[in-house]
Amino acid sequence: MMYTCTGLTKAFGSKRVLDIPHLELPLGKTTMIMGPNGAGKSTLLRILAMLDLDYQGTLQIGDQKVARSSEVAQQFYRRSAFIWQRPVMFNMSVAANVGLGLRLRGVDSATIKERVDKALERLGITELAQANAKRLSGGEMQKVSIARALVVEPEFLFIDEPSSNLDVDSIDLMHRLILEEKAAGKTIFLITHNFAEGQSLADYAVFLNRGSVVAAGPLSELAANRSLQESAIWRYL
């Protein structure tokens, strides 16, 4: 089963930032998206996450074509979670921030408390439960963002720079959590500039340059691709 992009293009004004005739990404696996600055990585991630519906082309998840509408996007959000490089915290407690997605999904209060407590423990931030999330350090905010994503038990997980704002111990924790989600069969898309990090986490890779796919496939094939290794862009891996 694949997440398929066909004829996918995206422009900002007269500037085309994505031009992908065809791309197949495996479901139930972890795909890393790499490339130099300005390659279109974040744009592709936002389109895959249905946070950006202003594109040309078609998306298909398995055998289901995805209609480009806000209603379909809202349904997809309920199956998804997002961990961004610069997390947004709401002016409420850490526990309330982590439980927000569950409340929006109509989960009952007792279940929310149980799942939030478990998520905070999993991230090692139980002691921050009643702290105001907007007053945390950058690394603490990132951990809250991770807990808020995982607590909803998503089918799809979108991650922009998993090591961002984290110290070494926290990076190890983040990697362990991604591998746990991967083992559970989740579909994960992550942007990274660190090829070694991607190798330790992902099954599949997409390398972008100037909005086009330079290489895509299983990591083992990408690492053995001599033409890619001999190209000027290999230094970005």
Distance of alpha carbon 66 from alpha carbon 8, whole angstroms: 13
Distance of alpha carbon 62 from alpha carbon 171, whole angstroms: 32
Distance of alpha carbon 213 from alpha carbon 35, whole angstroms: 9
CB 143 within 8 A of CB 170: yes
Residue in 59, 55, 56 with CA at minimum distance from that of residue 72: 59
Question: Could you read off the pLDDT of 50-98 as tens digits, one per residue?
Answer: 999 999 999 999 999 998 888 889 899 999 999 988 889 999 999 999 9
Give the pLDDT score at 235: 62
Distance of alpha carbon 62 from alpha carbon 112, whole angstroms: 31
In the chain, pLDDT over 70 holds for what percent of residues?
A: 95
Give the pLDDT score at 167: 81
CB 23 within 8 A of CB 212: no
> Distances in Å between the alpha carbon of 128 and those of 134, 137, 173?
12, 11, 17
Q: Which residue has the higher pLDDT, 215 or 6?
A: 6
Give the pLDDT score at 237: 57
3-class state of residue 103 by DSSP: helix
Question: Could you read off the pLDDT of 198-227 as tens digits, one per residue?
Answer: 889 999 999 999 999 988 999 888 777 777
Q: Is the pLDDT confidence value at 176 over 80?
A: yes
Band of the pLDDT at 236, cuts 50, 70, 90? low
Q: Is the pLDDT confidence value at 156 over 70?
A: yes
Q: Is the pLDDT confidence value at 234 over 90?
A: no
Buried b (16+ CB within 10 A) or exposed e, 7-42: ebebeeeeeebbbbeebebebebbbbbbbeeebbbb
* Listed ranges 110-114, 142-146, 224-228; the one with the highest mean pLDDT: 110-114
Q: Which two tokens stand for residue 143?
A: 């951990």
This model's pTM is above 0.75: yes
Distance of alpha carbon 105 from alpha carbon 99, whole angstroms: 10
Rounded mean pLDDT of the chain? 91
**Mean pLDDT of the region 116-144:** 95
Distance of alpha carbon 156 from alpha carbon 77, whole angstroms: 9
Residue in 223, 215, 203, 211 with CA at minimum distance from that of residue 31: 203
Residues 19/155/80/201 CA torsion (nearest 10 deg): -60
Chain mean position to CA 85: 10
Helices 138-150 and 94-104: crossing angle in degrees, nearest 10, is 30
Give the pLDDT score at 194: 83
Give the pLDDT score at 85: 82
Band of the pLDDT at 45, cuts 50, 70, 90? very high
Give the pLDDT score at 32: 95
**Mean pLDDT of the region 158-175:** 84
Q: Which residue has the higher pLDDT, 193 or 33?
A: 33
Query: 72-81, 156-165, 184-193 — which is least confidently predicted?
Result: 156-165
Distance of alpha carbon 200 from alpha carbon 202, whole angstroms: 6
Distance of alpha carbon 151 from alpha carbon 99, whole angstroms: 7
For the domain spanning 1-79+157-162+188-237, the CATH number is 3.40.50.300
